[in-house]
Structure 1
Amino acid sequence: MKVKQLGEDCLKGIFEFTSDDKITLYSCLKANRAFCKNVVPILWRNPWINSSNYYDDTIFWKLIGKTILKCLPKESKENLYKKGLRLNPSITELPLFNYVSYCQSLSDKIIQKLVDNILDGYNCDHYDYKSIIQEEFWKLFLRQSFNIKILKLPSFKIFDLPDSRGRLSNITTLECDTSLPSEYFLEIPKYCNSVRRIEIFMNFNNFNEGIESLILTQNNLRELKFRAIEDKKFKFKNSKTIEFLSNSLKSIEFENKVCLSSQIFSSFTNLTELHINLKNFDYCGLYCLKDIIIPQLEVLDLSNAVGVNFDTYSKLISNTHGFLRIIKIETKSHPPTSNIELYLQTLITYCPRIEVVPIWLARRQSLDNFDNFLVSSNELKIIQIELKEPNDNTINRETVLAKPIFELLATRANPELKKIYLRGRWSFNHIDLQEFFEMWKGRRYLTFHFDNEFYSYYIVKVCEEYYKQGVINGGTINYTSKV
């Protein structure tokens, strides 16, 4: 019995360790009963994100909606039948698992999408049946989901529903809409006061007294996310809220717009993470970043960044106090060469603890600053080096030799460097790569990702050989063209 229990515990540990690898978990479902029993609860914690694995999103929502219909209690199914809704007879079958009980994420959008796809194709009064099934689904989740952690507040008072008060006490992430009436938030602190993350969708309103009151009642609040659709700043009208957040807040995330004033932003002196996803151009928001001082910032994550604004990003980095460890920047366009030099110099001066960083290099650019950066970055673990493309539309763009970059990485970089990404039209042959791997011997094993201009059988063989020797432990090869 003890051996059997040990095996079960080991399986759980293994699957928990691979919980982010959905493809691997799916492949384990049909292996045997023990695998299936341990994998299903993991996949159903937040099954909605798995729709990206389906070519046809509609098929996914139909399948998962049908499965949830099967989880409805017998009286609910009979109620749907009495109301005239003739669904597929297969929903009377009992599911293999009580899938709903594993769900940890819930929102009105999820419920709506499930119901819309269930009713798609039925010749019935869509609106009436939609409200009936929605109500049954909300009751189902609140009755059987034992550990809901992520909740988007619906457009009704959810705590008025039976079973909601006991099921929602473990919420860690709460999504709020500023268009909801303030009184919708008044019941939440009575049953839920350990929210770690609050996501605020600014739906035309830039202030909601209920949301501000909610913030002040949470004992474990560490993260705020703002999603804005207009050029408005979110307003805090209670000075106690700003004081509270300045002590507790560790992470802020903005989607679309940077919707806090620089004065309020700079009040959050204990911030360690800043995430900005600028899906739309936000001149005002970017401009205010130059005036923000975040002394303890450790993680800076910028998505959809624009190259011409690298002077602003460099200024933001210089307003930290040397704690930055991780910089992630995904760009829509490459920075000008002058901004590349400024960025490198800023890293050298203000980021002595940097571990993860992207670097841009321009053609015919001096490598002095890059050399100095490698020497000064004593804790560097992961580096992405991207070749800046010219602004013109020249078809036959020249490639750039990677050999000087290889030499600097092998001789000047921190011995603990473990991942290198080369992106762009780099050119090197198998001899260049072999010399690099030879210089790397004796250092930490390396994960190496790179682009090369022309396909080379010899480069592949070199990688295979040094993989066998333990110099590299993985990576990817991308070729611009194949011959």
Structure 2
Amino acid sequence: MSKLNKDILFLIFEELQDNSKYLFSCLMVNRIWCETVIPILWRNPWRYYAINYCKKNSLYSIITSYLSNDIKEFLSKKGIKISGQSLAFDYLSFCRSINIKIIDDIISIGSSSEYNRFLLQEEIYSFLIKKCPEIKYLNMRGTYEIVYSPEAKARLESLCELTCDTLIDPRYFYRLAHICQQIQGIVIINNNLNANHGTIKLIEFQKNLKYFEWVDDFTEFTEDYDYFDWEKLEDPYTEIFDILKNHANTLIHFEISLYFDYNYSTNYDYTFLQYALLELQNLKILEINSPRFLDIDDFNEKLEMVTYRDLEIIEIDVIDIYQVTCIIKNSLYLKELRINDFHWNDNIIDGSLNFINTICDNCFLIEYLSIPVFPLLENHFIEFERLLKKCQNLRSLNFKDACYEKGEALEFGDYLSNVLIREASTNLINIGIPYFDIEFSLETLEKFFEKWKGRPAVSLYFDNTYFYRKDNSYMKLFDKYKIEGVIKDINA
């Protein structure tokens, strides 16, 4: 391994670029490994969340080493700690990323004085924008003046990914919109009660937007829901989501987290999200945390006509089962369907049966599936067993609470254990069980584990552990089959 040439090593290390622990260990092998890893680590050195940047004196030393001698002397006289070490590599020549918040954390090592930190920021951001050959990734949650640096246009016009918040003065967004028009990924943290129209221009000017993420973050204003003044929140959404429709041809990742109170979710009108979704038919990844989509006849009729052929991942907190069935009806490449809560407008019998049937007919590549606990009826048995036979890639099966009369939980547990043994692929290794809707007698579980022997170990997740702690018999059973390698994990 240590004799591999640089090209091969580079390809291997590229695959490890998200794992700082492995890359840092590679630095210590020999000089060739070190020379190969350094450009990968320093392409975006602020991305490694396991690092406590505000305590990384080594990074502070590297950054301040680039300051000119005159500037070092000036700052030292102000009481700011400055490194005098020489560098083994020209680290910043590899850098393609600026993360304002993290760099500010590193700068804080130099002095506790706010004024001194301001002086450091001025100097460091000035040479950073000059030294980095081109900026591909920019997180500008903090100091925004960087976009008005004389070198900003040359360095930022090739920007690929931007993270920002809505507290930024709209003028900086206007400036960015004119400099950067090839941004492929935009993450917007909405932490402003006032609508920021600069974000609209930024999105409007992009020519190849593929990734869009919007996160409402009003924690500063929401210590108590009862005292949050919703009337002060301007509507930043309608114009934003109308503009996003113009990027329907290129947008493939759509991730939305909207702020709302579950206790008052029926008071929200977030139809702008519903109708925007109708236009975004080239999506591969759809993640939504919002109030449940309203049951509007016009929207439902249009949703029936929409085709999402490229969807691979769907993650939605709560959605009507009829609506999600419409979304997946032509999603032949769907691999993950994660629904936290299914809502029912149709009766549970038809809604759950149509859902299972749609999975069977269209989503046979599915690997992770959320499914409601369905009624114990023959038609449902037939379709669910057909699902297990057709979906041979299924790795995780997670049942969700259902809305029908209780009383069949043990019967459902007995049915489920038998059908999984008989029909499930050996790829299935994770099973999630909701409390009350599905229960297992001790005898049923022991029979299930005995017949599971010879397959990959299974992980079982129960939403509530009370039932399984009623006596030690269940825990003893779980411990026994853990030792025998039948169970990998269990949260009971």
TM-score, normalised to structure 1, is 0.71
Gaps of 5+ in 1: 121-125, 392-397, 441-445, 464-475
1:372–1:330 CA distance, 2 compared to 1 (3 A): closer
Alignment match, 1:359 = 370
After superposition, the C-alpha distances for 1:201-224 in whole angstroms (9 at most, x for unaligned) are: 33223351x433333332211222
In structure 1, the residue matched to 2:15 is 17
Rounded to whole Å, the distance in 2 between the matches of 1:259 and 1:151 is 31
The 1:390–1:274 alpha-carbon spacing in structure 2 relative to 1, beyond 3 Å, is closer
Q: CA deviation at 1:200?
A: 2.8
Secondary structure at the residue paired with 2:395? strand
User: Which of residues 252, 255, 270 in structure 1 aligns to 2:254?
Assistant: 252
Give 3-state SS (helix, strand or coil) of 1:48's partner.
coil
Is structure 2 residue 300 aligned with structure 1 residue 302? no
Which residue in the other structure is 1:136 paired with? 123
Deviations along 1:96-121, one digit per CA (max 9) or x if unpaired, are 3333333333233223322234434x
Q: Which residue of 2 aligns with 1:40?
A: 38
Residue in structure 1 matched with residue 60 of structure 2 by the alignment: 65
Measured in 2, the distance between the counterparts of 1:289 and 1:58 equals 49
CA displacement 1:315-341 (0-9 Å, x = unmatched): 23424442160334374x8999x9997
User: For 1:9 and 1:200, how far apart are their aligned partners in 2?
Assistant: 37
From the superposition, tell whether residues 315 and 253 of structure 1 become closer, same or farther in structure 2 (CA, over 3 Å).
same
Describe the SS at the equivalent of 2:369. Answer: strand
- Of 436, 449, 453, the residue aligned with 2:452 is 436
Distance across 2 between alignment mates of 1:459 and 1:327: 28
Q: CA 1:244/1:335 → structure 2, altered by over 3 Å: closer, same or farther?
A: closer
Return the match for 2:280 from 256, 261, 268: 268
SS at the partner of 2:126? Answer: helix
- On the 8 A contact 2:146/2:152 being kept in 1, the answer is yes
Aligned residue for 2:123, secondary structure, equals helix
**Equivalent pair of 1:371/1:408 in contact (CA under 8 Å):** no
Task: Specify the alignment match of 1:79 in structure 2.
Answer: 74
Deviates more, 1:108-117 or 1:362-371: 362-371
Q: How does 1:210-289 map to 2 (within 5 A)?
A: 210-228=198-216, 229=218, 232-236=235-239, 241=243, 244-257=246-259, 260-276=272-288, 278=289, 282-283=290-291, 286-287=293-294
Instruction: Tell me the equivalent position of 1:27.
Output: 25
Per the alignment, residue 167 of structure 1 pairs with 155
Residues 340/364 of structure 1: CA separation in 2 closer, same or farther (3 Å cut):
closer
Structure 1 residue 11 displacement after superposition: 1.0
Contact 1:363 1:388 (8 Å CA) reproduced: no
Corresponding residue to 1:149 among 118, 121, 136: 136
Residue identity in the other structure for 1:382: L
What does residue 50 of structure 1 align with?
Answer: 48
Contact 1:430 1:459 in 2 (8 A): no
Distance (whole Å) between structure 1 residues aligned to residue 245 and residue 374 of structure 2: 48
How many pairs align? 428
State the one-letter code of the partner of 1:349. N
Report SS of the residue matched to 1:382: coil
Distance 2:410 2:131 in 1: 59
Kindly provide the amino acid, as one letter, of the partner of residue 102 in structure 2. I
Residue 345 of structure 1 is matched in structure 2 by 353
Give the percent of matched residue pairs that are identical in Structure 1 and Structure 2.
19
Letter in 1 for 2:285: E
